[in-house]
Amino acid sequence: MSTALIILAAGKGTRMNSDLPKVLHPIAQASMLEHAMSAGRALNPDRTIIVAGHGADAVRAAVAEIDETAEVVLQEEQKGTAHAVDQARAALDGFEGDAVILYGDTPFLQSETLEHMVAARAQADLVVLGFDAADPGRYGRLVMQGDSLEKIVEFKDANESQRAITFCNSGLMACDATVMFDLLSKVSNENASGEYYLTDLVELARGEGLAVTAVSCDESETLGVNSRADLAQAEQVFQQRARADLQEMGVTLMAPETVFLAYDTVIGRDTVIEPNVVFGTDVTIESGALIRAFSHLEGCHVSRGAKVGPYARLRPGAELAEDTHIGNFVEIKNAEIAAGAKVNHLSYIGDASVGEATNIGAGTITCNYDGVMKHRTEIGPRAFIGSNTLLIAPVKVGRDAMTASGTVVTKDVEAEDLAISRVPQTNKAGRAGKLMDMLRAKKARLTKGTK
């Protein structure tokens, strides 16, 4: 059976008080829309339709980066959820298969839940996703008769017995696309809000003798985001789940509540993560690594046995081989650090390759940018780079070569050579005291002149 996803992403999100469309606000460094689209991929959809409205250009640009095959349609006026879904009609003209309706501001939906909804279509024409609410509040109630969904009753319209129902409506649905659009054409806006409600499809379907049912998911999957406070709560929920998953897989988090993960962070078992570590996107840590406190990692790969930090920064393109050491206040960007190499103190290694078992001294900088273009530094195996060395790229340092501390390297250093580039030191006898006396006198004159 072919499947089309219809993801509603047109809301302005007034309570967010933001120029950014609500669905583009991030959780774990991915937009809520990307979370929804990611969950939907479990169905291997043939078509993905995003219904945009407020900030449509920004939504369109974001969708293109996430999935270039997804289509964006415009809901120029927000006239209710049924009206929003109906904006996908032209895009899905002639489509034969199921339509599954998702919401772009509901980021925690699990792939297994969507698969359950689609599987339920074998016994029903229309499937609604519900959840058992700990506090049903003002949610719409799902009135069931056995496996049959009789109707959805909004809180304001529910009687006392219906308000006692805890099985509530999430808003998600699955239905044959042709049937769904036929039902949508019959939805009326004759209500207090003058809007077209998607929930009306249940009553319309039953009126035509169609089978309607509801399946259940955990309430946490239906968590919606409507304000900055909701966004913070959603971030907390994601982080708690992600941390628990890592611990279950054998990762040690010394202070779990201080570690922040991205939606795609991968960490192997027996890795130890110390407190206050932040992961950006596209990070893979192999088993048995140590990430020390206050480090920040993004777009990098760390191999088995590597040690990173404390206070280290790994930027996109950083590739650490096995048993490497990246120490305090070291930054690595777009560079490969070979097995056993060490960059332990106060250094910047960018656009470079560092050979096996090489030692990079404190304060070393690869000067990779000339103001227009980036250039590469290549350091061979077992080299020793003295403290406070400046490597003016493009430049190469051969195997087993050395640079003296304070050297500025402007040309290649051949294998086993020692590079020294310093201004000769000259000591002026007694000049320190005379210089200080002169400076103090100058300061006194300046101070007197300001009074």
Q: Per residue in 147-188, pLDDT tens? A: 999 999 888 888 999 999 999 999 999 999 999 999 999 999
Mean of pLDDT values over 353-360 = 98
Residue 12 has pLDDT above 90, yes or no: no
Q: How far apart are CA 319 and CA 71, in angstroms?
A: 36
Amino acid making up residue 422: R
Residue 451 has pLDDT above 80, yes or no: no
pTM value is: 0.88
Candidates 259, 262, 287, 286; CA nearest to 273 is: 259
Amino acid making up residue 291: I
Residue 79 CB neighbour total at 10 angstroms:
16
Q: Phi and psi of 365, rounded to 5°?
A: -130, 130
DSSP string for residues in 78-133: ---HHHHHHTTTTTTTT--SEEEEEETT-TT--HHHHHHHHHHTTT-SEEEEEEE-
From 25, 296, 301, 345, the catalytic residue = 345
Q: How far apart are CA 295 and CA 281, in angstroms?
A: 14
pLDDT digits (tens, 9 = 90+) for 223-237: 889 999 999 999 999
Give the CA dihedral 15, 17, 19, 23, nearest 10 degrees. -30
Counting other chains too, the contacts that 245-249 makes at CB distance below 8 Å and 24 or more residues apart are: none
Residue identified by tokens 């074998």 is: 122
Looking at residue 449, its pLDDT comes to 74
pLDDT digits (tens, 9 = 90+) for 272-302: 999 999 999 999 999 999 999 999 999 999 9
DSSP string for residues in 333-370: EEEEE-TT-EEEES-EEEEEEE-TT-EEPTT-EEE-B-
Mean pLDDT, all residues of the chain: 95
Number of H helices, E strands in the chain: 9, 35
Looking at residue 137, its pLDDT comes to 87
Residue 345 a catalytic site member: yes
Give the CA dihedral 323, 309, 316, 369, nearest 10 degrees. -100
Beta strand segments in 190-267, E: 212-217, 252-253, 266-267
Is pLDDT larger for residue 193 or for residue 69?
69
Q: Is the dihedral of CA 228, 230, 231, 235 positive or negative?
A: positive
Tokens for 435, please give them. Answer: 């210089």
Is pLDDT larger for residue 78 or for residue 266?
266
Half-sphere exposure (Cβ direction) of 366: Cα atoms closer than 13 Å: 27
